[in-house]
Amino acid sequence: PRLVYVKRPAPDMEPRLAEMLARVQDEDSTSYKPFADAAELTRLLSDDLAILLTERFDAAGRQSTGQGRVPHSNLPVPVSALIGREAVLQDLGALLDSDDARLVTLAGPGGTGKTRLAIEIAAQRASRYPDGAFFVDLSAERDEAGAYAVIARAVISSGAGDSQPLEALEEALRDRRALLVLDNFEQVTTAATGVAGLLQHCPGLTVLVTSREALRVRDERVFPVPPLALPDAGSATLAVDDALESAAVQLFVERAVAMASDFSITEGNAADVAAICERLDGLPLAIELAAARVNLFAIDELRDQLATRLDVLRGGPRDLPVRQQTLRSAIGWSNDLLSDDERTVLRLIAAFAGARLADVDAVARRVPVLDGIDVVEGLGSLVDKSLVRSIRGLDGRPRFSMLQTIRDYATEQLDSAVELAAPVRQAHAEHYTERALQLQRALHERERCVALSAMEDELGNLRTAWDHWLQAGEVDRLHELLEPLWGFHEARGDYAAAIALGDELLDVLAQQPPTADRRRVEYALHLSVVRATVAARGFTPDAERRMRAALQQSENVGDERRRHTTLRSLATLHMIQREFADADDVARELLALAEDQQDPTMLSESHLVAGTVSIWREGWTEGLAHIDTAVESFSPSAPSALFRVGPHPEVVSRALAGLVRWKVGFPDQAAHESARALELAAELGHPYSTSYALFHAALLDMWRADWKAVAANGEDLLGVADAHDYAVWRALGIVLRGTAMVGSGDADAGLAEVERGFSLYHGLATPPVFWPSMLLVRAQASAMAGRLDDALE
């Protein structure tokens, strides 16, 4: 209140002064008091000051709890906007609004942005806590007593509750509705029981914790903080708009621009930015540290540096805690909080590319230095501490893995422990080689799909084992592991990966002494690599040259199964070059060899070759008997040839049987065989066989003039070819698409598409096996378009 003292006016007071005094007296906020002389003014001042002081002391007494005053809030004010956390904030807000979530732990490894998220959600919901929202940084504390004391100092007045901080907090917060944000709780986890007790005594209190591990007390609700959403970084090019849909890329760009104002994301660097964000697992801290390096490295240079070096990510803002100024420090902070056994288990897990608990335990049992360490307990603790993740594999069972940045750090720690690294990696390679052989046997049994899914889960570990044996030059082990790996890649239609494995083993073989055994293995593998190259890319001049060189050695192989494979390739080469008499001679030799071996698969494949040769030499009817025998001879239970390439023999037999039966006048049987080929390829889950069945089904549709079906099968074929980079099938699919367009009335555009497919096909150099079929398709397309001269060429 304002107190105004005015001396009583003389009788002849100025009218304007009298008006002003009247206006002052009318104001509610002003107390107007007249006085006559100095003695009266002194008395009035003494009385009024006494009243004001009494009112102030009474107000302070009403606010006091006897332990200090509760301030309203001390939440830090962020200096930048939070990026990409809208959905997370919504989910977290919904959790905090629920009645049973009074203790919520934001859990995650260092660098995921737990603190920033906690501050943001606390600021958004501060108005819901009329008695205050308080932020407490526990990073400097090492025991529960220190934690309780720093919480008390943040919530109540300075110095209050220093001797009994928990009791002081209970007294201060018992009747209040408040929010406590406890940051960096992972190093004072023993204080969790005290926090739980505080919640019991203070029904209006909500506690939001950030920690690298859960508190593990009753009624705790753990909220895992995910990394930022990543873009699709799988391709060499990426549109800017597509990249910026990712929160990780948005954060990188914002921080990069802050460091270098001339930085911008472009079509030229978008894919590299995406790759950087993916390499850093979408961790906000890691991304910010990487963006801080754009003034030192070009984006592609930064991407390459990050492929192998964690120490590139240093130089964070000086106002960050020291532990967050480099990524290694952020992860090292968590490592320092581990027990010795936990650190050992972390190093062990670094050897795995994700693993089942049974596999981790099996590898640990092979390592003598791990005797006495409870690996299961240690792994569970690392999961609780957010250093290891538990995720579901393709079979729905838990698998344990680490973010790549954490695994890189743990790998460095493993490498530094010389007495542990060598035996762990040897045990890992031995275990997964044995597991690969178990899964390979299952590839030829009823549970083929289950085995393929299991191998897909373990592919990273199998490649790690392969690299270990490769570095050690262990030829026998490599050859042992190649069979299941080749079988997996062949089943998935990934011939590029199979070829790469074969070439790596050939390089190792070339360094071995030139024994007869080495030459036999080298020859067989060399031929398989060549055939895989042909299957994926066609008969390039180099493939043909290498095949002819391998065929010259076929007589000395000494392995009838591989000799059979060699002869099949030779027959194919003769047919491509229209040497049908020579192809017929080879077919007869194949049949004799298969009869001698009484191998169902060899018999089926031999009759298939003989039938194809007969069709070209004698006609459809003559080839039908061999094709039917091929279908009848095939045995699903027969073991598959090692290092198989190309379509499945039963799919080939049924697809060809469909075409042949159409040509000899059995349309219903033709449709049945064609449909069965497609069904079988789908059951096998084998993309190359699917491609073969789709192409031959489209040929049958073309003969039936069912242009919608031709178009549909052609597009499906293109989809498989693009997904697996099958150059041959891509060219064939384009030709089918063009033919369907011609058949549907769009002659000019359709013929242009046919010629585009032929141009791609010509780019494969020596024409592959489908060249005659291609010519027939083009001839029919030209005839339908009314271009008879072109059709007759």
Residue 346 pLDDT level (bands cut at 50, 70, 90): very high
- In this prediction the pTM is 0.67
Confidence check: pLDDT of 160 > 60: no
Query: Within this chain, do residues 343 and 326 fall inside the same structural domain, yes or no?
Result: no
**Mean pLDDT in the chain?**
83
Mean pLDDT calculated for residue range 432-453: 81
Query: Within this chain, do residues 151 and 275 fall inside the same structural domain, yes or no?
Result: no
Confidence check: pLDDT of 459 > 80: yes
Mean pLDDT calculated for residue range 744-756: 87
Query: Within this chain, do residues 271 and 147 fall inside the same structural domain, yes or no?
Result: no
Query: Within this chain, do residues 309 and 383 fall inside the same structural domain, yes or no?
Result: no
**What would the pLDDT profile of 625-656 be if each residue is shown by its tens digit?**
898 888 888 766 555 544 456 788 889 889 99
Query: Within this chain, do residues 120 and 255 fall inside the same structural domain, yes or no?
Result: no
Helix 707-724 to helix 727-743 angle (10° resolution) is 160
Pairing of strands 178-183, 205-211: parallel
Instruction: Output the pLDDT for position 4.
Output: 67
**What would the pLDDT profile of 162-206 be if each residue is shown by its tens digit?**
678 999 999 989 999 999 999 999 989 999 999 999 999 999 999
Task: Identify whether 573 is part of a domain.
Answer: no
Confidence check: pLDDT of 54 > 70: no
**Distance, CA of 222 to CA of 213 (rounded, Å):** 9
**What would the pLDDT profile of 478-532 be if each residue is shown by its tens digit?**
989 998 898 888 777 777 888 899 889 988 988 888 777 777 777 778 777 877 7
| Spatial contact of 399 and 391, defined as CB atoms under 8 Å apart | yes
**What would the pLDDT profile of 2-21 be if each residue is shown by its tens digit?**
566 667 665 555 666 566 55
**For residue 655, which of 781, 773, 778, 489 has the smallest C-alpha distance?**
773
Comparing 434 with 19, the larger pLDDT belongs to 434
Residue 601 pLDDT level (bands cut at 50, 70, 90): confident
Q: Dihedral angle at the C-alpha atoms of 57, 59, 61, 66, nearest 10 degrees?
A: -130
Residues 6+ apart with CB under 8 A from 661: 624, 667, 669, 670, 673
Residue 327 pLDDT level (bands cut at 50, 70, 90): confident
Helix 516-537 to helix 727-743 angle (10° resolution) is 20
Task: Identify whether 394 is part of a domain.
Answer: yes
Task: Identify whether 623 is part of a domain.
Answer: no
Query: Within this chain, do residues 200 and 311 fall inside the same structural domain, yes or no?
Result: no
The DSSP symbol for 246 reads S
Mean pLDDT calculated for residue range 394-417: 89
Instruction: Output the pLDDT for position 68.
Output: 44
* Residue in the block written with tokens 């073989």: 509
- Take residue 680 and report the two structure tokens written for it: 């079988």
**SS3 state at 142:** coil
**What would the pLDDT profile of 270-324 be if each residue is shown by its tens digit?**
999 999 999 888 999 889 888 888 888 899 998 888 876 666 655 545 444 545 4
| Chosen domain end from 224, 248, 282 | 224
Residue 566 pLDDT level (bands cut at 50, 70, 90): confident
Confidence check: pLDDT of 262 > 70: yes
| Of 52-61, 434-443, 704-713, minimum mean pLDDT range | 52-61
Burial 466-483 (b: 16+ CB within 10 A, else e): bebbbeeebbebbbbbbe
Query: Within this chain, do residues 338 and 326 fall inside the same structural domain, yes or no?
Result: no
Domain assignment of residue 174, given as a range: 86-224
**What would the pLDDT profile of 21-37 be if each residue is shown by its tens digit?**
565 555 544 565 676 77
Confidence check: pLDDT of 255 > 60: yes
Mean pLDDT calculated for residue range 595-622: 87
Instruction: Output the pLDDT for position 304.
Output: 87
| Chosen domain end from 200, 224, 248 | 224
State which H helix or E strand residue 129 sits in.
none
CATH of the domain at 188: 3.40.50.300
**Distance, CA of 93 to CA of 206 (rounded, Å):** 13
Residue 64 pLDDT level (bands cut at 50, 70, 90): very low
CA–centroid distance for 261 within its chain = 32
Q: How many CA atoms lie within 13 A of 648 on its CB side?
A: 31
Cα–Cα distances in angstroms (integers) from residue 635 to residues 293, 632, 677, 778, in the given order: 61, 8, 15, 36
Instruction: Output the pLDDT for position 69.
Output: 46
| Of 369-383, 413-427, 609-623, minimum mean pLDDT range | 609-623
**For residue 716, which of 612, 701, 763 has the smallest C-alpha distance?**
701
Task: Identify whether 235 is part of a domain.
Answer: no
Q: What is the largest CA-CA distance in the chain?
A: 144
Instruction: Output the pLDDT for position 642.
Output: 47
Residues 6+ apart with CB under 8 A from 693: 647, 651, 654, 655, 674, 677, 678, 680, 681
Confidence check: pLDDT of 349 > 90: yes
Query: Within this chain, do residues 479 and 344 fall inside the same structural domain, yes or no?
Result: yes
Confidence check: pLDDT of 65 > 90: no
**Distance, CA of 430 to CA of 448 (rounded, Å):** 23
Q: What is the total count of domains within the chain?
A: 5
Q: First and final CA of the chain: distance in angstroms? A: 109
Task: Identify whether 423 is part of a domain.
Answer: yes
| Spatial contact of 726 and 493, defined as CB atoms under 8 Å apart | yes
Query: Within this chain, do residues 320 and 353 fall inside the same structural domain, yes or no?
Result: no
CATH of the domain at 719: 1.25.40.10
Burial 220-252 (b: 16+ CB within 10 A, else e): bebbebebbbbbebeeeebebebbeebbbbbbb
Instruction: Output the pLDDT for position 41.
Output: 73
| Spatial contact of 208 and 182, defined as CB atoms under 8 Å apart | yes
Instruction: Output the pLDDT for position 489.
Output: 85
